[in-house]
Structure 1
């Protein structure tokens, strides 16, 4: 299965059913924090929901239509990073991610995103990557800004999250502009 070592104690791995309990526990511990920006969190209230997500993610990977990975820090799942959908016709994708609140500020997700960008541009030969974030989700927005994405615009009322609409900012990065810092 897919595994990419980023550095000592940090790697990304495709999610497998054996990760379900650990992933469910992590989401449960971070539920209030994550629910502010992610609409699926409140519906993830049993281990079966998590298993269903992983099974669907494995099918998506088998169909060559995306990849959902765990971000592992010190061999424990710390969050997730995904290529949502692979648009092979237009050679583009989008990246989504979340991280355990207690591990933020250590550069973990920036490094995981850098690895996923390299994989997308070099291994998959894609040409464009987008990252979308809530306008007020400043922690999430710093990652594409740090990695050299261009702020391309705002989509108003893009998503219903936590009983309200949130606007999304859209960041884009082209293969020709990627400096792999």
Structure 2
């Protein structure tokens, strides 16, 4: 099983079926804050729905198309981070992430994202990583900015968020710029 220690308080592990209840509880307890920026929240209505996500994540890993990892903070599931896909032909991927509301503001996501970036460049030998975030999602935009991704532009009306289209900032990082 994949497990990576980010620091003494933060670790990442591949999500497995045994994490289904814990993932659902975290999603459900943070539903209002997650729903502001994530269009999938209303589709998670039971532990079974979280289990389906975990099964899809394990299939993604089996197909060598990236992975989804749970982020644990002080041995509690705090959120999820992963790759949307890997474009092996162009050696690129995009990252997605979210934290439960009780875990925000502790530097957890920046440290976890840094570890994933290191893995992508040094282990997977990718050349480019992209992160997109809704323009007004300041917390999510702060992560790539702290990690010195370059803001490459804004995609207008990139995502339907329940009752409006949100614009996305696009951040990119290439291997030669990673320190």
Per-residue deviation, residues 86-105 of structure 1 (Å, max 9, x unmatched): 11000000110001112111
Residue of structure 2 in register with 1:127 after alignment: 127
Per-residue deviation, residues 14-73 of structure 1 (Å, max 9, x unmatched): 100001100000000000100010000111001111100100100000100110000001
In 1, distance between residues paired with 2:111 and 2:162? 29
Q: Which residues in structure 2 correspond to 1:69-80 (within 5 Å)?
A: 69-80=69-80
Residue of structure 2 in register with 1:6 after alignment: 6
Residue of structure 2 in register with 1:86 after alignment: 86
In 2, distance between residues paired with 1:46 and 1:32? 16
Q: CA deviation at 1:149?
A: 0.2
In 2, distance between residues paired with 1:12 and 1:100? 15
In 2, distance between residues paired with 1:72 and 1:41? 20
Residue of structure 1 in register with 2:95 after alignment: 95
How many residues were matched structurally? 179
Residue of structure 1 in register with 2:174 after alignment: 174
Q: Which ranges of structure 2 fall in alignment gaps of 5 or more residues?
A: none
Q: Which ranges of structure 1 fall in alignment gaps of 5 or more residues?
A: none
Q: CA deviation at 1:74?
A: 1.0
Per-residue deviation, residues 133-155 of structure 1 (Å, max 9, x unmatched): 00000000000000000000011
Q: Which residues in structure 2 correspond to 1:30-179 (within 5 Å)?
A: 30-179=30-179
In 1, distance between residues paired with 2:78 and 2:13? 11
In 1, distance between residues paired with 2:9 and 2:147? 22
| Farther-moved stretch of structure 1 (134-143 vs 94-103) | 94-103
Contact 1:135-1:168 within 8 A present in 2 as well: yes
SS for the counterpart of 1:158 is strand
Give 4+ residue runs of structure 1 displaced > 2 Å after superposition: none
In 2, distance between residues paired with 1:56 and 1:143? 26
Contact 1:91-1:127 within 8 A present in 2 as well: yes
In 2, distance between residues paired with 1:132 and 1:39? 14
In 2, distance between residues paired with 1:47 and 1:71? 18
In 1, distance between residues paired with 2:128 and 2:37? 24
